[in-house]
Amino acid sequence: MGLYLAAAGTLMQMRFIQFTTVVVAILCGRFALAQQASQPEKALRLTLQQALNLARQNSVSYQLALTNAGVAREDKKQALATLLPGVNYNNSAIYTEGTGVNDTVKFIANNAVHEYISLANVHEAFDLAAVADFRSKGAAAAVARAQAEIASRGLVVTVVQSYWNLAAAQLKLDVLQKAADEGEGFLKLTQDLEHGGEVAHADVIKAQLQVNDRRRQLQAARLALLNARLDLAVLIFPNFNNNFEIADDLHAGLTMPSLEEFQKRSAQHNPEINAAMEVVKETSFAVTSSRAGYLPSLGFDYFYGIDATHFASKTDGISNLGSSVVLTLNIPIWNWGSTQSKVKQAELRRAQAKRELSLSQRKLLAELQSLYAEAETASSDLASLSQSADLAAESLRLTTLRYKNGESTVLEVVDAQNTAASANGAYQDGALRFRVALANLQTLTGDLITQ
């Protein structure tokens, strides 16, 4: 009996240990899941190239341009199909009223009372208008491709501007945060000096006013950063997501292309010029197509199969399979001037396309010089703004030291603080202008300048 009780106790103890182990494992698992859920999701670090790739995938306007290019490409395929022979297999059965004598028809709707038709038909039309239409569709497809490239380059400028605007907003916030901290430190300095009887209370009031201004500027900078982040998020993400960071450096060194290289690449890879030239080709083929209305067209049909009173390959030992060839020549005679009007319309469109091509070429020359000069100016300004920001920071440091030694006034310190903050903000804006200017150059050359 004692052994039995001892064994039962041991068994209960083992089950209790197992139960306790399971409960602890469950609680530990739940704790780990809760801890994992409570941890914030790590922010996604995005390079400019990654942002551009995401924007191309999710931009509605760019995808619309790609869709139009795809539709135009299929139009070209369909136009080519009209130039090639087509094969159909036609089946029909015709029943009409007969006289009741020798299977002769009473109402002439077909060749017999029962006529069965099962024919393979090879059809080909020789028409100059169809050839010109195919060439026109090819030019239209090229226009759509060029317009898609234009949309792509425009999207690049938009994303580049938003991307670097976010980077500049973050740097401005950091600068204003530092300026606010310096303002707080200067306020404490004036209060300490006032307690020691070294400065008047007016200095403390002026420092407090400066701190209040810095706090308001800091709030405005935070709002600007939020708006810049949301603008970029809308461009690049299919779902709303603002948990990301900028990986590239706004002030990373960039090299300006030479003017000669820029002119050469812009002349070879400008989509607007290519689109205008293809429009001229398209309208020229449209003129040829409309003039084809004056010319005859030739059609060819070859039939092979059954056209008999019985739906069978043989009737009474005689084969029902046979063939026929039909040649059709259509000669236009009179259509009340419709063809002449179509030719006139096509010629008017061609003349307008040539004028637009000339305008695009002139605009390219003007934009080439303007955008390059803008980028060159932004590059030279950036060096000057960088130097000004460094000098303003050094001036603030020296003026603050002079104030501590009683050699300058509070107004000089406040003015130095404002100058330093303004110079640093101008430096960030200058870097942003330079980045956007380089992106605008890309609209002419197609090359994204990133280094």
pLDDT of residue 43: 76
Q: 132-147 b/e with 16+ CB inside 10 Å = b? A: bbbbbbbbbbbbbbbb
427 domain-assigned: yes
CB 214 within 8 A of CB 176: yes
Q: Which residues contact 361 (CB under 8 A, 6 or more apart)?
A: 273, 276
- The neighbouring-strand residues paired with 115 are 94
C-alpha to C-alpha distance for 182 and 114, rounded to whole angstroms: 105
Closest among 402, 392, 417 to 185, alpha carbons compared? 417
56 domain-assigned: no
44 domain-assigned: no
In CATH, what number is assigned to the domain containing residue 218? 1.20.1600.10
373 domain-assigned: yes
CB 236 within 8 A of CB 159: yes
Q: Which domain holds residue 378?
A: 143-292+360-451
pLDDT of residue 157: 87
203 domain-assigned: yes
161 domain-assigned: yes
pLDDT along the chain (451 residues), means of 10: 46 54 50 46 84 90 92 91 88 81 74 86 86 88 89 88 91 89 88 85 88 91 92 89 85 76 75 87 91 90 89 87 90 90 94 92 85 87 90 91 86 90 90 86 66 39
pLDDT of residue 15: 56
Show the beta-strand stretches assigned E in 42-104.
Answer: 44-46, 86-95
332 domain-assigned: no
Structural domains counted in the chain: 1
- The neighbouring-strand residues paired with 94 are 115
Residue 233 exposure: Cα atoms within 13 Å on the Cβ side: 15
8 domain-assigned: no
